[in-house]
């Protein structure tokens, strides 16, 4: 009789402060994760290539560069989710971290139980897949594999989060997507009461996609509920 054991998720902790590195190594191991440790971006690159972790906890300030720049680099080469970790807690820092493609942003000092809950929530999300599916409606066309948007065959420049939000709405074409779903999918941890980031992205999408942003035809607000993308 064979006995199968559930695979433990591998977490790469990129942190140069020994106290945080040691605490996370012990705490996350107790919570059921396999933990890898890196104290620099150079070391993290090697571990990402060699071990392909399931999630990366990435400090913003590292001795050989910025975690923000490394996160951008990862988003160009990897689908591994990243949770940014920083002592900086201003709204601008949080929004920047999420804008560059981080799955979440955690500020120091943090509680291990909360961090673990956030890690599990990110790992539960459906994996990002790359395919050649095209979504077309009206004069707009989304190429999911190339991450491009065209209108009347002319390219439209979108930020990463703008594109991700558009894909979320386009994959539910004609259906209402609640504000809660938008926030939980793209900005996990951002409170519903402080969702100006979502509203800003919707406004930017209208400006780029609609013929008349003031009288949108496709990207509609369902007051008090969320948003709907109509063909």
Closest CA to 160 of 86, 95, 224: 95
Q: What is the pLDDT of residue 131?
A: 45
Helix ranges (DSSP H) in 100-159: 112-124
> Each residue of 46-83: pLDDT tens digit?
999 899 999 999 999 999 999 989 998 887 777 788 99
Check if the beta carbon of residue 78 is closer than 8 Å to that of residue 48. yes
Domain chopping of the chain, boundaries:
10-124, 134-229
pTM assigned to the model: 0.59
pLDDT of residue 127 exceeding 60, the answer is no
What CATH number belongs to 10-124? 3.40.50.2300
| SS3 letters across 170-213 | HCCCCCEEEHHHHHHHHCCCCCHHHCHHHHHHHHHHHHHHCCCC
Q: What is the pLDDT of residue 130?
A: 43
Q: Sorting pLDDT into bands at 50, 70 and 90, what band is 98?
A: confident
What CATH number belongs to 134-229? 1.10.10.10
Closest CA to 119 of 34, 197, 39: 34
């Amino acid at each position: 009789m064979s006995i199968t054991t559930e695979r433990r998720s591998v977490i790469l902790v990129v942190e140069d402060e020994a106290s945080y590195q040691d605490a996370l190594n012990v705490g996350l191991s107790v919570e059921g994760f396999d933990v890898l440790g890196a104290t620099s971006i150079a070391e993290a690159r090697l571990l990402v290539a060699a071990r392909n972790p399931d999630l990366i906890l990435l400090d913003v300030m590292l001795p050989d560069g910025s975690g923000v720049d490394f996160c951008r680099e990862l988003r160009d080469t990897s689908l591994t989710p990243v949770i940014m970790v920083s002592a900086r807690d201003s709204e601008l820092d949080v929004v920047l971290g999420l804008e560059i493609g981080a799955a979440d942003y955690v500020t120091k000092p943090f509680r291990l139980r909360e961090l673990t809950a956030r890690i599990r929530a990110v790992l539960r999300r459906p994996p990002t897949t790359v395919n050649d599916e095209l979504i077309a409606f009206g004069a707009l066309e989304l190429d999911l594999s190339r991450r491009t948007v065209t209108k009347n065959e002319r390219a439209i420049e979108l930020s990463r989060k703008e594109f991700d939000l558009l894909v979320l709405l386009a994959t539910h074409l004609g259906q209402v997507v609640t504000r809660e779903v938008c926030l939980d999918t793209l900005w996990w941890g951002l409170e519903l009461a402080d969702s100006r980031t979502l509203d800003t992205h919707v406004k930017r999408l209208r400006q780029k996609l609609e013929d008349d942003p003031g009288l949108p035809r496709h990207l509609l607000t369902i007051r008090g509920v969320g948003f709907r993308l109509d063909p």
